[in-house]
A and B are shown apart, each in its own frame.
Chain A
Amino acid sequence: MIRFILLQNRQGKTRLAKYYISLEESEKHKVEYEVHRLVVNRDPKFTNFVEFRNHKVIYRRYAGLFFSLCVDITDNELAYLESIHLFVEILDHFFSNVCELDLVFNFHKVYLILDEFILAGELQETSKKAIIERMGELEKQE
């Protein structure tokens, strides 16, 4: 199960944070700080997995952005690693050539896309097409 998803830039600014477990505010800040510190200095040649408390963080870096998923120790690492990439592909498709600024100015869209992709800490839909079409439907209603 995905416990939380973080999108942070190199400086540690959180661009998106989604928690599927209930945490207190102070704890969230701590988690975001610690995860950033954990992944930011890792060599690109290292694994994309790193232990975090009793869980593990699966992360991947795209330009200056780190996408981190905190999952259970027993979860399938590579499957989650590729779900990060799928998410990035969806964002890329939606914003046509996504960059950090897109995510900053359209943070609410990012939440919407994420909600179509992951729910309750589990993958909900793995078809890029289905999600992009769904976003189109929703935009019409706005």
Chain B
Amino acid sequence: MALSGMRGLSVFISDIRNCQNKEQERLRVDKELGNVRTRFKNEKGLTPYEKKKYVWKMLYIYMLGYDVDFGHMEAVSLLSAPKYPEKQVGYIVTSCLLNENHDFLRIAINAVRNDIIGRNETFQCLALTLAGNIGGREFAESLAPDVQKLLISSSCRPLVRKKAALCLLRLYRKNPDVVNVDGWSDRMAQLLDERDMGVLTSSMSLLVSLVSNNHEAYWSCVPKCVKILERLARNQDVPQEYTYYGIPSPWLQVKTMRALQYFPTVEDPNTRRSLFEVLQRILMGTDVVKNVNKNNASHAVLFEALALVMHLDAEKEMMSQCVALLGKFIAVREPNIRYLGLENMTRMLMVAEVQDIIKRHQAQIITSLKDPDISIRRRALDLLYGMCDVSNAKDIVEELLQYLTTADFAMREELSLKAAILAEKFAPDLSWYVDVILQLIDKAGDFVSDDIWFRVVHFVTNNEDLQPYAALKAREYLDKPAIHETMVKVSAYLLGEYSHLLARRPGCSPKEIFNIIHEKLPTVSISTIAILLSTYAKILMHTQPPDRDLQSQIWAVFSKYESCIDAEIQQRAVEYHALSMKGAALMDILAEMPKFPERQSPLIKKAEDSEADTAEQSAIKLRAQQQNSNALVVTDQRPTNGAQPAGQLGLVKVPILSNADQSAAEIVSHANGALTVVDPQPPSTPSPDLLGDLLGPLAIEGPTGAAPASVASGLEGGVDADALAIAPIEEQANAVQPIGDIAERFHALCLKDSGVLYEDPYIQIGLKAEWGGHRGRVVLFLGNKITSPLNSVQALILPPSHLKMELSLVPETIPPRAQVQCPLEVMNLQPSRDIAVLDFSYKFGTQLVNVKLRLPAVLNKFLQPISVSAEEFFPQWRSLSGPPLKLQEVVRGVRPMPLAEMANLFNSLNLIVCPGLDPNPNNLVASTTFYSESTRAMLCLIRTETDPADRTQLRMTVASGDPTLTYELKEFVKEQLVNIPVPSRPPLAMPSHIQPTSPPPSAISDPGALLAGLL
């Protein structure tokens, strides 16, 4: 047990273990840290052995949970130790203590690279492991080619190659550009012929990652994957050591089937047949056995096979087999299998033909909703939620409501949200919907967010038939002894608006209504009191002829709150008091709330927002997107009345989705949306930054609980603003407002190679470019920010005559919250300052959005910095003696700037300033190489002579071997000097047809957007 000779470490660990309490442990740790620190300080006296020992101690202390804020350098320095034992410590400790963002790690890149390209196999392994476990973008850029070489090398042992495969996978995740698809796809296919199972397992993981991003280049891998499956599952042709409880590597089987799920289909009939044979064998041949490990392993394979069968659109018979299997699983006692049965049945909902069979299991699923294990309950809830449609909504929702009273805390919020969404989506009639929500509030008021009762108000306001019913229900709940504050809010609101419709019923006279509501006032919070005051004002208004007694009662309440410490309450009290003295005029001012504009349910949106991030995009999601594009016709036929389609929650399948949309749309279409109220709610909560997501690290996200808080203020704002119904505001402008200044974004992109080109509330167009010589590759990232698809997407490039541009196919639909990459190849034929334009359009609902965006494929992108010495410069300068190769011009109206700033500007344009060439310190000399097809590489020289007394003018001389180039470059530089983008222009001017009273378009009020606009 002793630690190979390192006694000091073992003693230390024993000491720690012998500590009686935390305090003793801390003392011992502090002592040791002090010791290690002093030893590290005079490093010279440290033998490699001691250094190793101390670094291990540090790691141990770190594992105990103490902060170790020194010694990182020592760990990193061991990476370059010549001997294995020290090196090994260095590698292990470094990869535990540091993460990819750590500065020390950057320093280590070289040492790691040396070990990778070195000849020592053990060192190669250490280095590959470190890069594979914690390497970041910089690692990706500097190591990928070497790692690729090792992976395909015929002289390396499998030991090194399997590590290289996974190391490359990590580097690829950090920066997908490091794997060149064209060059790599054949190699990838060859790797699948590998006989060594370790290399094959690792390579399969690499393949999954590659195809999850883009399967197109890897079609040739499909038959090979099928071969591997046959080899494993049918022929059992693997070395003994790779069988696990008699099953040929279940992990490789699972990975292989996962890889196949990223291909839309398997077309080749022979391959398809072989694949189905294997799948059939797995489906039918997996028995339940006693040994738990064997059972788990075989079912791991079985569940993956099920997923693949679903994905491949097998014949109905096979699908029915799958459902039958799943039906069996959801009834077994073994919890893991039952869990997976429920989970996969939820996925199975995607297959339209089997939905009805799944529905037959409803009763069984409901029993799992009451399982003691929360993991199972969650799956059951998801499944019920997914399988709910108009036919079974009443049953399922009532089941959920019933369960709500006994459900534990952890589930209640989710339950009530899901019940509310289902009630809204599938309500057979709206009175049922109102019933459900009121019950929800009654049973689980704490878990019913404001969104939910806002939504009730919204529906009731927009549906006259519903108003008396809702008011009556609200009145009934008020009779209950202790009701939740949310119930007070919604009842008070509804009765304020509609209690006059109940006037002749017993217990519903204005006075009775007022009394029963007013009873609740002492127990409620400020925000509810505000609503109650509005209700009182409305009751007064509806009481015609006025009831003097009631009037004085209510006025007394108003006067009391006129001195309330809360400004909102005070203001309401004062205003309502004054208004209600105006008699008949009150009628106009406190008129009934106008109808709400149609909008997407904030609930559904909230549910959609909780999406998981995964290393590989889920095959299911991909499939959903593929289906989406096939099902475009359906999408288009939908009544496009502005109701956004409801999206999916978790794994809800697409066919159901479109059903869901239909009925959601139907519900909303009852409300023939007279747009009289400004919708204060943002059309969608913009996702922080789609591009950032893509490029960012694969970090775990924080809890999703803090979903869009902004939504909560949505209707509340509406109530406040409109309670006084001052003046209905015109329909909001249709035009979609861009976020940020388009021109500024363009200018910024002229100087850098990645960033956002355009953004509005629905879409973000990011851009990433690489330039080399006269060619460039620009990738447009079209990111759908919202939870419904964007349709009729069109991107046309209008290239100027000097650029040859080819845009790859842009899909017509961008699925919800998805990002599409469209590469654009650019070739520069000749010098010109003309600018390419991207004519981009899409449809959001019925609204067509069209923007014309300048593309930053500008002249300076074809410049490459070159700095020249005096010996090179002057002969050139002299040989280009005058027009048209050398042109001079006095430029006026230059934006004044210090010389250093001008030098920076030049450098950022790739015109490299060569200091010291011009003896006059007020002059700048710069050089660059321009690339185009006609000119090839051509040296350009520029001299600007500035006048320190007048910074608004300068004399510029440009010289090159091509007259057009000289002229164009001169004009280009002139433009840059005269017209420099002002960094902080106000983000947007408001279109004039919006009335000044309207709140600013949400895009601008969003601080994130504001910030983006300023950047």
Contact = CB atoms under 8 A, between A and B. Distances in A.
Do A and B belong to a common assembly? yes
Interface of A: 1, 3, 13-25, 27, 29, 31-32, 42-43, 45-51, 53-55, 70, 72-79, 81-83, 85-86, 101-102, 104-108, 111-112, 115, 119-130, 134, 138-139, 141-142
Contacts of B900: none
Contacts of A76: 254, 258, 300, 303-304
Contact of A130 (B65, B122, B198, B374): B198
Interface stretch (B165-173, B586-594, B720-728): B165-173
Contacts of B89: 108
A22 B99 contact: yes
Interface stretch (B128-136, B567-575, B906-914): B128-136
Contact of B198 (A32, A83, A124): A124
B612 A43 contact: no
B614 A126 contact: no
B156 interface: no
Contact of B201 (A3, A75, A81, A124): A124
Interface residues of B, number: 89
A106 B3 contact: yes
Interface in B305-321: none
A85 B292 CA distance: 11
16 contacts: A22-B134, A53-B700, A54-B701, A55-B700, A77-B339, A78-B299, A79-B251, A79-B254, A81-B336, A82-B297, A107-B59, A108-B92, A119-B133, A119-B167, A120-B170, A125-B162
Contacts of B619: 74
B167 A46 contact: no
A53 B704 CA distance: 7
Interface in B272-314: 293, 296-297, 299-300, 303-304
B129 A122 contact: no
B202 A122 contact: yes
A13, A29, A43, A73, most chain B CB atoms within 10 A: A73
Contacts of A54: 610-613, 700-701, 704
B250 A121 contact: no
A7 B202 CA distance: 24
Interface of B: 1-4, 10, 13, 17, 56, 59-60, 63-65, 67, 84-85, 88-89, 92, 96, 99-101, 122, 128-129, 132-134, 136, 159, 162-163, 166-167, 169-170, 173, 197-198, 201-202, 205, 239, 241-242, 244, 249-252, 254, 258, 293, 296-297, 299-300, 303-304, 335-336, 338-340, 372-376, 378, 610-616, 618-620, 697-704
Given A82-B250, A120-B133, A47 B296 contact: no
Contacts of B620: 74
B697 A22 contact: yes
B300 A141 contact: no
A126 B242 contact: yes
A124 B244 CA distance: 15
B885 to A, nearest CB: 54
A79 B699 CA distance: 23
Given A108-B59, A119-B133, A86 B244 contact: yes
A13 B340 CA distance: 31
A122 B258 CA distance: 13
A20 B2 CA distance: 29
A128 B13 CA distance: 29
B36 to A, nearest CB: 16
Chain B: interface secondary structure? helix
Nearest to B614: A72
A124 B698 contact: no
A63 to B, nearest CB: 16
A31 B701 CA distance: 11
Contacts of A104: 13, 17
Nearest to B338: A47
B205 A122 contact: yes
The 4 tightest CB contacts between A and B, nearest first, are A1-B615, A78-B300, A72-B614, A22-B99
B695 to A, nearest CB: 14
A109 to B, nearest CB: 8
A106 B615 CA distance: 32
Contacts of B202: 119, 122-124
B63 A14 contact: yes
Contact of A1 (B17, B611, B614): B614
A47 B56 CA distance: 37
Given A3-B700, A46-B373, A81 B63 contact: no
A80 B879 CA distance: 72
A33 to B, nearest CB: 9
B914 to A, nearest CB: 41
A18 to B, nearest CB: 8
B188 to A, nearest CB: 16
Contacts of B375: 46-47, 49-51
A112 B92 contact: yes
Nearest to A95: B1
Among A75, A108, A128, max chain B CB count under 10 A is at: A108
B839 to A, nearest CB: 38
Given A1-B615, A55-B612, A73-B614, A78 B198 contact: no
A126 B197 contact: yes
A1 B167 CA distance: 14
A125 B201 contact: yes
B699 A22 contact: yes
Nearest to B91: A115
B376 to A, nearest CB: 6
Contacts of A102: 1
B777 to A, nearest CB: 27
Given A77-B340, A120-B167, A47 B242 contact: no
A43 B373 CA distance: 8
Q: By CB atoms of chain A within 10 A, which of B60, B133, B249, B703 has the most?
A: B133
Contacts of B704: 53-54
A124 to B, nearest CB: 5
Nearest to B697: A22
B901 to A, nearest CB: 37
A107 B205 contact: no
Contacts of B616: 1, 72, 74
A47 B699 contact: no
B303 A120 contact: no
B13 A122 contact: no
Contacts of B242: 126-127
A82 B340 contact: no
